[in-house]
């Protein structure tokens, strides 16, 4: 439970610049261990989110608890075991490293107006609510929320916004809020992606084709107004222009389908098989929808789809790593943060009671 004694910010010397601005990076979340026991509560929380699966609640509850959570955890745990590192899940390790690098970069760029930088997970720990309360105890009065999803989808970014809205409900004096909805066509981000692909080619040589594989969503969500597909295509178009490739050289597909509904097409697994069947020998694959490498890139693309490609006659599917904590990503996200926090260092939020919220949580009775 938050308490005024938890306050861990500067000692309060009135000459110190007040730490008022904060950035909350949010990624999806990941299990605590690569075991069925640890994967189960993670999947239960993820797949109970109505932004992700929008079927009628009671019906979905029966299917989720009656079927899916009996079968999927051990299958997923097996996949996680293939990519687990001594430090833990790649998604967590990579997100933490990116957060640390971004904190250093923002400190370097704005030594006079410090920005607190924290990381939350949409599912699991540390939760969005916990991290917002912690930032507030440290004196943050203005908060920029930056979901680590370049393309907006209601299923990913939209769900982070739900968690932020819920967290604010528990605060008596919530911070001023800004949100990065997406950065799918941000010039510095596109440049970072292009450079990472070019540098990878400089070391490994160019494959026959470049495939950009994005996480899929049900097609129905797009018909209902989710801009995700357009934003994925816009990212791909920008990269195609920047890398001077045409539509036969740079292709787009969608991966990770779950369930029976039709998802965004073409599917990645069908695409890599078709390309192998058409005589493509070396296929380069990048996943620009993932800021940090995770199960979906390291296992599904670099392992599973690599095997599909070879089984269909290809020789090598080469996965080009995500931007992770590379300087290119750190610099492009730092620019994004500075652009979205413009004006925040011009005046402080003052109150007769001082800026340190000494509040107990606010709950409706
Ligand atoms: C990049 C953005 C993402 C969107 C959009 C997205 C939509 C979406 N995902 C599922 C179901 C699953 N996704 C899983 C893993 C997973 N998904 C994303 C990102 C997006 N998902 C990431 C980064 C990860 C990796 C997590 C990690 O720990 O590394 C999984 C769990 C893994 C498994 O059991 O296979 C599921 C399930 C749906 C249904 C959906 C949209 C409707
Ligand atoms: Fe997903
Ligand atoms: Fe997957």
- Contact present, 251 and 302 (Cβ < 8 Å): no
Residue 305 lies in a domain: yes
Q: What is the DSSP string of 222-285?
A: HHTT--HHHHHHHHHHHHHHHTT--TTTEEEEEE---SSS-BSSSBHHHHHHHHHHTT--EEEE
In sign, the C-alpha dihedral spanning 38, 39, 42, 47 is negative
CB 180 within 8 A of CB 146: yes
Q: What is the CATH number of the domain that holds 243?
A: 3.40.50.1400
Dist. CA 21 → ligand 2 center (Å): 30
The answer to the question of residue 101 being in a domain is: no
Q: Is the CB of 179 under 6 A from ligand 1?
A: no
How big is the chain by its Cα radius of gyration, in Å?
Answer: 22
Q: Does pLDDT of 69 surpass 60? A: yes
Q: Phi/psi at 189 (nearest 5 deg)? A: -65, -45
Closest by CA position to 192, among listed 91, 298, 321 = 321
Tell me the ligand closest to 43's alpha carbon.
Answer: 1
- How many angstroms is it from 221 CA to the middle of ligand 2? 14
In a domain, 11, yes or no: no
How remote is the CA of residue 69 from the centroid of ligand 2, in Å?
16
Exposed e or buried b for every residue in 194-223, given b needs 16+ CB within 10 A?
bbbbeebeeeeeebbbbbbbbbbbbbebbe
To the nearest whole percent, how much of the chain has pLDDT over 70? 91
Residue range 14-36: mean pLDDT, rounded: 87
308 and 192 assigned to the same domain: yes
Backbone angles phi, psi at 321, to 5 degrees: -55, 155
The count of other CB atoms within 10 Å of the CB of residue 148 is 25
**Domain identity same for 79 and 191:** no
Give the residue whose CA is nearest to atom 28 of ligand 1. 30
Whether the CB of 329 sits within 6 Å of ligand 1: no
The ligand that comes nearest to the alpha carbon of residue 79 is 1
Alpha-carbon distance of 280 to 278, in angstroms, equals: 6
What ipTM describes this predicted complex? 0.95
Answer whether residue 99 is part of any domain: no
Ligand whose nearest atom lies closest to the CA of 215: 1
Q: Is the dihedral of CA 251, 226, 177, 149 positive or negative?
A: negative
Model pLDDT, residue 8? 43
Atom of ligand 1 minimally distant from the CA of 218: 42
- Residue 250 maps to a domain: yes
Domain presence at residue 46: yes
Return the pLDDT at 292. 98
Mutation to probe ligand 1, out of 215, 222, 230, 255 (largest number of atoms < 8 A from CB): 215
In whole angstroms, what is the distance from residue 306 CA to residue 302 CA? Answer: 6
Asked if 229 contacts 215 with a C-beta cutoff of 8 angstroms, the reply is no
- Write out pLDDT tens, residues 310-362: 999 999 999 999 999 999 999 999 999 999 999 887 777 776 555 555 556 56
* Number of domains comprising the chain: 2
Task: Count other Cβ atoms within 10 Å, centred on residue 38.
Answer: 18
Omega into 266 within 30° of 0, i.e. cis?
A: yes
CA 48, 257, 294: angle at the middle one, nearest 5?
A: 80
C-alpha 236/C-alpha 252 separation (Å) is 7
Domain that holds residue 196: 187-320
Average pLDDT score over the chain? 92
Q: Which residues are annotated as a binding site for Fe(2+)?
A: 215, 296
Task: State the distance from the centre of ligand 3 to the C-alpha of 303, rounded, in angstroms.
Answer: 12
Is the same domain home to 194 and 314?
Answer: yes
As a whole number of angstroms, the distance between CA 285 and CA 301 comes to 8
Look at residue 15 and tell me if it is in a domain: no
Q: pLDDT-derived band of residue 269, with 50, 70 and 90 as boundaries?
A: very high
Gap from CA of 216 to ligand 2 centroid (Å): 8
Residue 57 has pLDDT above 60, yes or no: yes
Instruction: Read off the pLDDT of each residue in 225-250 and give the average, rounded to a whole number.
Output: 98
- Chain segment 38-49, per-residue pLDDT in tens: 999 999 999 999
Residue 129 has which token pair? Answer: 């609510």
284 burial class (0-12, 13-18, 19+ CB within 10 angstroms)? buried
289 Cβ closer than 6 Å to some ligand 1 atom: yes
Q: Which of 2-11, 87-96, 130-139, 226-235 has the lowest mean pLDDT?
A: 2-11
| In-domain check, residue 30 | no
The pLDDT score that the predictor gives to residue 16 is 53
- Claim to verify: residue 200 and residue 316 sit in the same structural domain: yes
């Amino acid at each position: 439970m938050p308490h005024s004694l938890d306050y861990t910010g500067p000692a309060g010397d009135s000459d110190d610049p007040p730490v008022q601005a904060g950035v909350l990076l949010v990624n999806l979340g990941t299990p605590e261990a690569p075991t069925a026991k640890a994967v189960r509560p993670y999947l239960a929380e993820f797949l109970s989110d109505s932004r992700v699966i929008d079927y009628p609640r009671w019906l979905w509850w029966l299917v989720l608890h009656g079927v899916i959570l009996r079968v999927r955890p051990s299958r997923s745990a097996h996949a996680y075991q293939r990519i687990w590192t001594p430090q833990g899940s790649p998604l967590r390790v990579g997100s933490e490293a990116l957060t640390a690098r971004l904190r250093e970069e923002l400190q370097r760029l704005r030594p006079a107006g410090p920005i607190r930088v924290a990381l939350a997970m949409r599912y699991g720990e540390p939760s969005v609510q916990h991290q917002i309360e912690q930032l507030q105890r440290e004196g943050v009065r203005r908060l920029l929320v930056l979901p680590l999803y370049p393309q907006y989808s209601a299923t990913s970014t939209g769900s982070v916004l739900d968690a932020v809205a819920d967290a604010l409900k528990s605060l008596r004096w919530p911070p001023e809020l800004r949100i990065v909805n997406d950065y799918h066509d941000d010039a510095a981000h596109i440049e970072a992606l292009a450079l990472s692909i070019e540098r990878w080619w400089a070391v490994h040589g160019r494959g026959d084709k470049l495939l950009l594989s994005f996480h899929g969503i049900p097609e129905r969500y797009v018909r209902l107004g989710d801009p995700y597909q357009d934003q994925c295509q816009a990212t791909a178009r920008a990269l195609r222009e920047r890398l001077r490739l045409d539509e036969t050289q740079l292709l787009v597909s969608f991966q990770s389908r779950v369930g029976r509904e039709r998802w965004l097409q073409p599917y990645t697994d069908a695409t890599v098989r078709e390309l192998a069947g058409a005589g493509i020998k070396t296929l380069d694959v990048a996943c620009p929808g993932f800021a940090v490498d995770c199960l979906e890139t390291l296992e599904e693309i670099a392992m599973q789809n690599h095997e599909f490609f070879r089984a269909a006659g290809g020789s090598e599917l080469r996965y080009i790593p995500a931007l992770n904590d590379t300087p290119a990503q750190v610099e492009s996200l730092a620019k994004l943060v500075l652009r979205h926090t413009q004006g925040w260092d011009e005046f402080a939020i003052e109150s007769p009671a001082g800026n340190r919220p000494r509040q107990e949580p606010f709950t409706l009775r």
